[in-house]
Amino acid sequence: MLENFKNRFRILFASASPKYLNSNFHLSEIVFESLHSLFSSENVYFSEYETIEFDIDYFKPNLVIVFGSIVPDECSYFSIKKRCVQFGIQLIFWLHDDPYEFDSSEKIMDLADYIFTNDRFSSFFYSRERVFHLPLAASSKYHYRPIVTNKTRDIGFCGVGYPNRVQLFNDLENTLLKYRTEIFGSGWLKLSKSFFRNQRLSNSELVNFYNETSIIINVGRHFDLKNNKFQISSSTPGPRTFEAAMAGTVQMYFVESLEITDYFVPDKEIILFDDNKSFEYQIDRLIRNKDLWLSIAIESQKRALNDHTYEQRILSLLSHIQH
């Protein structure tokens, strides 16, 4: 399949918004690295938002993949489309912030030849053809860490303190206080609980944080930027699910959707919890039973390496593209 793709595609991979507006710029770089590892240098090219049109002229691709968030008002894709039409290039958008930014998709509805969205349930709401679900993943190069058993903390989480997360950690407080817990990210100050660290971690720090923590809590967000049209609830777990698995830790997934079971097998590769009681029970089980912990860490990392790398996602994306 890959050989076929190598012959068929000449890909310009572009970030969907300018670097100064894009807090996920590193993600574009990571995905491009994966693309690069599959194809030879002559056939793939990375472009920043501001230079896409110039780069199309220079590189002459037959496929442009625009990756990321299209929400900033500074971003518009008419000119890029014009250039693509002019040279007969297929224009693909791979969005990574559905459903939280779903309403912005109107911007590209008539421009994209194909749309790939990170969220499965959101994919049903695109009232057009050639829309596919493509979850985010992890990179074996950036996110992989060998599993270590000697951890510096028991429980960890890193992310923005959205109200639903604050509520959850509030509700789990009694259990969290029993262990070495640290919660990083912005927006955690108000509660001033002993385990809140109102501090952001860099991308590499984050991976090390996962690697150094026995159990990572995985909880989604209920915070929409532009999701008023249909108020879609998300169904696909976020990219950190795959990244944490790759980094060699065990995740406790707070169940608000069961799509997680399509990516990781409960109890074998990931632990699910529904409330404070099941959380307490599972944490206790994992902390006491080192072998169980290790087997889940190994299995989940194995699964991530086998099924949830960006290389796989890219191949899946390309398999949808027709001439």
Binding mask 109-138 for another protein (x = CB under 8 A): -----------xx--xx-x-----------
Exposed (0-12), middle (13-18) or buried (19+): which is 176, by Cβ within 10 Å? Answer: buried
306 near another protein, rule: CB under 8 A: no
Residue from 79, 149, 186, 202 in contact with another protein (CB under 8 A): 79
Helix (H) or strand (E) holding 35: helix 25-38
164 near another protein, rule: CB under 8 A: yes
Comparing CB distances to another protein, the nearer of 173 and 307 is 173
Phi and psi of 37, rounded to 5°?
A: -70, -20
171 near another protein, rule: CB under 8 A: yes
Residue from 235, 241, 249, 282 in contact with another protein (CB under 8 A): 235
Comparing CB distances to another protein, the nearer of 209 and 273 is 273
Minimum separation from the CB atom of position 99 to another protein (A) = 9
295 near another protein, rule: CB under 8 A: no
Q: How far apart are CA 11 and CA 62, in angstroms?
A: 6
Residue from 132, 226, 298, 312 in contact with another protein (CB under 8 A): 226
Query: Do 79 and 44 touch, CB atoms closer than 8 A?
Result: no
Q: With CB under 8 A as the contact rule, which of the stretches 1-9, 101-109, 285-293, 308-316 interacts with another protein?
A: 101-109
DSSP assignment of 63-119: EEEEEE----TT---HHHHHHHHHHT-EEEEEE-STTTTGGGGGGTTTT-SEEEES-
Comparing CB distances to another protein, the nearer of 144 and 196 is 196
Minimum separation from the CB atom of position 123 to another protein (A) = 10
List strand residue ranges (DSSP E) for 119-218, in order.
131-133, 153-158, 181-185, 196-198, 213-218
3-state secondary structure of 197: strand
224 near another protein, rule: CB under 8 A: no
231 near another protein, rule: CB under 8 A: yes
Nearest Cα to Cα of residue 102 among 74, 131, 78: 131
Residue type, 309: T
CA geometry: angle at 98 spanning 257 and 191, to 5°?
Answer: 70
Q: How many residues does the chain have?
A: 323
List strand residue ranges (DSSP E) for the chain, in order.
11-15, 44-47, 63-68, 90-95, 114-117, 131-133, 153-158, 181-185, 196-198, 213-218, 250-254, 271-273
Comparing CB distances to another protein, the nearer of 98 and 212 is 98
76 near another protein, rule: CB under 8 A: yes
CA distances from 2 to 24, 33, 91, 312 (A): 28, 16, 20, 11
Sign of CA dihedral 189, 223, 144, 32: negative
Minimum separation from the CB atom of position 93 to another protein (A) = 14
Please, which of residues 11-70 interact with another protein by CB under 8 A? none
Minimum separation from the CB atom of position 49 to another protein (A) = 11
Minimum separation from the CB atom of position 281 to another protein (A) = 11
Query: Do 211 and 108 touch, CB atoms closer than 8 A?
Result: no
194 near another protein, rule: CB under 8 A: no
Both tokens of 175, joined, read 């259990």
Q: With CB under 8 A as the contact rule, which of the stretches 25-33, 202-210, 243-251, 267-275 interacts with another protein?
A: 267-275
Minimum separation from the CB atom of position 40 to another protein (A) = 32
Judged by CB under 8 A, the number of residues near another protein is 43
- The residues binding another protein (CB under 8 A) are 73-76, 78-79, 82, 103-104, 106-107, 120-121, 124-125, 127, 164, 167-168, 170-172, 222, 226, 228-235, 255-259, 261, 266, 272, 274-276
